[in-house]
Amino acid sequence: MNLRLILQRAAIGAGALILAIGLAVAQTAPAPAPSPAPNAPAQTGAGPGADGARGDWRAAREACRNQVGSDLRGQDRREAMRTCMAEKRGAGAGPQLSETERNRIREMRGADRTAQKEARKTCREGLKNQRLTEDERRTGIEDCVAKANPRYARALACRREADSKNLEKRSGPYREFMRSCIRGA
C-alpha cells in the first residue's frame, strides 16, 4: 500500500508540474516581428498587384469603415463603402463598373454558386448508398462535380498539384501557384 501511495502522489506531482510548465510557456511574450533588411527596396504601389499595395488597400478600407460608421446596414453600407473606396483609389485607378454591370456580375456569380450547389447535391445523392470512407466520399464528390464543371475541374487539379508540392494553403506561394496554374491550364 505504501508503494501505491507513493506512485499516486508522484503521478499527481508530475501532472501538476506539467500544468505549471504549460502555463509558464503560455504566458511568455511572442517573439518580435523581424525588421526589414536595411538595403531592402521600399514597397510602394497603388494597385492590387503592386508590392506593398495590400497594406495601402487595407488602410484605405479601414479608413472607410471608420468614416461610414456602423449605423448603415446591408445595401446602404455596401454602397457607402464602395463610394468611399472609389474616392480613396482615385478616378481611373481601377475598373469603374456601372451599377447594371455590377448587378449582372453578381447574378452570374449567384447562378454559378447555385449550379455548383446543385451539382454537389446530385453527386452526394449518387454516392449516398455506397459504403465509402469520408476521404473516398469527398474525392468522389469532387470528381463528380469536376465532370460537370470544367472550371472547377481545373481548380481541383491545380489544388491537388499544390498539395503534392506541399505548399501551405493560404500562403503567398500557394496563391501564386494557384493563379498561374489556373490561368495556364
Residue by residue, DSSP assigns 72-112 as --HHHHHHHHHHHHHHHH-TTSS----HHHHHHHHHHHHHH
Ramachandran angles phi, psi of 52, nearest 5°: 80, -5
pLDDT digits (tens, 9 = 90+) for 161-184: 999 999 888 888 898 898 889 887
Structure confidence at residue 11 as a pLDDT band (50, 70, 90): confident
Average pLDDT of 61-88? 82
Which of the listed ranges 64-73, 106-115, 120-129 does the model predict with the highest average pLDDT? 120-129
- Rounded mean pLDDT, 36-49: 44
Percent of the chain, pLDDT > 90? 5
Q: What is the pTM of this model?
A: 0.42
Determine the pLDDT at residue 41.
42
Q: How confident is the model at residue 51 (pLDDT cuts 50, 70, 90)?
A: very low
Would you kindly state where each structural domain of the chain is located, as residue ranges?
55-93
- The answer for 50, left when phi > 0, alpha when psi is -120 to 50, beta otherwise, is beta
**Is-contact 64 85, C-beta < 8 A?**
yes
Q: How far apart are CA 157 and CA 143, in angstroms?
A: 10
Q: Which pLDDT band, with edges at 50, 70 and 90, does 64 fall under? A: confident
Share of the chain above pLDDT 70, in %: 79
pLDDT band at 42 (very low <50, low <70, confident <90, very high): very low
Tens digit of each residue's pLDDT (9 = 90 or more) over 125-174:
988 888 889 999 998 998 888 888 888 888 888 988 999 999 888 888 89
Model confidence at 49, pLDDT cuts 50, 70, 90, reads very low
Task: For residue 72, report the phi and psi dihedrals to the nearest 5 degrees.
Answer: -90, 150
